[in-house]
Amino acid sequence: MSDASAAPVIVWFRQDLRVADNPALAHAARMGRPVVPLYILDDQTAGPWAPGGASRWWLHHSLSALGGALCDLGAPLVLRHGRADVALRTLVREVGADAVVWNRCYEPHAIARDSALKADLKADGIAVDTFNAALLAEPWTVKTGSGGPYKVFTPFWRCVREGLEPGPPLPAPTRLTAPAAPPAGDRLADWALLPTRPDWAGGLRDHWTPGERDATRRLTDFLAHAVDRYPEGRDYPAQPLTSRLSPHLHFGEISPRQIWAATEGRGGIGVESFQRELGWREFCHHLLYHFPFLPEQPLNPRFEAFAWDGNAGHLAAWQRGRTGYPIVDAGMRELWTTGWMHNRVRMIVGSFLVKHLLLPWTAGQAWFWDTLVDADLANNAASWQWIAGCGADAAPYFRVFNPVLQGEKFDARGEYVRRWVPELAGLPDRVLHQPWMADPVTLRAAGVRLGHDYPHPIVDHKAARQRALDTFAAIKDDNG
């Protein structure tokens, strides 16, 4: 039983917006004191990596769901905004707390902020306990034989698997006690996280339900209906064979330990392939922890001399899904409408940006940061560097995806393109992925006027590929 007269403990929520398998919350509940759950909207400390538009939409609904769950447990969620160190210390004084707990974050700005705040609180006599709630293995625990960080995924994942003992997920507390006089907080609506005019979030609402409950439902449905076909089916964007758990994982509505517990022991190559994707997420966080410059600078320093193009018109065409390459445009329109993009298509549109258009990977990273509901600093930076050829274990820069062949291979019947590029829906499969090859009769029959209803390609594939290879050869020659 909780002693309502005891000094309360503050549980600072961040990227762990759930009540089950939440080590910080479970620890606070075991302390037998009043609990003050807290979320701080801290855009100042995050700087350029404050949540983008799609992430803010998700955050609003995720906090609403978490607030409801905590109210049901007996301890309302307190919302504050501003610098996290200031807001947290203010609340400590207001409620007379003598303990603060949180689950660790791994972004460079969060590590710096949390380390300083932890030291300050302890200097003031406040007990601070922190926990791992976001990763199967924390970045500093996985080392090469020489004691350094891994830069290649396969040996990294092998090392993690060999030492993995995540333990069972923690149950949600059955009851929490709030202080006799709960502190005041902001109204979620006053944070204006949702778009107003124009309201561009209709597609997000149609495709997503943020919150712990839907995260659990998605995992259950995926394991019941899709995981056995995942190894092959995950490459075909028209097929619903991916888990779509990435935003739920980023916001901590479900933990990797919960996913691991649900999959371990099932066996089969589908489960192994899916678990390997959890491993890639772990690898990205490993890289960001050991190389905190990852979102701004190439891991391979040779690429600092790369002669990127600065064509703003090409960037805008890519962002709007108006490149003239149907599989690329379908992906970019899916992203804008739903806040998400199929992983195979992410590789295609990423390769097109950095290799066909010679636009810097940081431009793609920034657009994804604003438009993805699963925008995650570690995954976003590491994956963009991978596709650009300048990161860890990267795809070679000279591997240039042919967007026509990619479309014909992974969307052979055109279901994906016809959904997201409906102006081309009437074209036959043989020219759907290269409409410029259709004869005038076929175009008229499909109601397509190239240059009016749908653009001509903004670059020629063969010429763009050669330009990319020549540009790469220049830095290769300069650096030996």
* Known active-site residue 318: no
Of 105, 102, 98, 104, which Cα lies nearest the Cα of 121? 98
Residue that is written with structure tokens 């919350």 in the block: 25
Q: For strand 99-103 and strand 9-13, is the pairing parallel, antiparallel, or unpaired?
A: parallel
Helix (H, G, I), strand (E, B) or coil at 293: coil
CATH topology of domain 301-475: DNA Cyclobutane Dipyrimidine Photolyase, subunit A; domain 3 (1.10.579)
Instruction: Calculate ∠ Cα 238-242-247, nearest 5°.
Output: 115
Residues 204, 109: Cα–Cα separation, whole Å: 28
Among candidate residues 138, 200, 343, 436, the one labeled active-site is 343
Domain range 135-166+212-290, its CATH number among 1.10.3720.10, 1.25.40.80, 1.10.150.240, 3.30.110.40: 1.25.40.80
DSSP assignment, residue 228? Answer: G
Among candidate residues 191, 260, 308, 436, the one labeled active-site is 308
Among candidate residues 277, 311, 408, 436, the one labeled active-site is 277
Among candidate residues 12, 336, 361, 420, the one labeled active-site is 361
CATH topology of domain 9-134: Rossmann fold (3.40.50)
Among candidate residues 191, 200, 260, 280, the one labeled active-site is 280
* Known active-site residue 308: yes
Residues 215, 131: Cα–Cα separation, whole Å: 21
pLDDT of residue 480: 45
Helix (H, G, I), strand (E, B) or coil at 338: helix
Helix (H, G, I), strand (E, B) or coil at 136: coil
pLDDT of residue 5: 64
Among candidate residues 384, 386, 402, 420, the one labeled active-site is 384
pLDDT of residue 235: 96
Which residue ranges make up each domain of the chain?
Answer: 9-134, 135-166+212-290, 301-475
**Structural contact between residues 350 and 386, judged by C-beta atoms closer than 8 angstroms:** no
pLDDT of residue 61: 98
User: Token pair for residue 38?
Assistant: 């807290």
pLDDT digits (tens, 9 = 90+) for 337-360: 999 999 999 999 999 999 999 999
Residues in the chain, pLDDT under 70: 1-5, 477-480
Which pTM was predicted?
0.96
Q: One-letter amino acid identity for 352? A: F
* Known active-site residue 384: yes
pLDDT digits (tens, 9 = 90+) for 72-128: 999 999 999 999 999 999 999 999 999 999 999 999 999 999 999 999 999 999 999
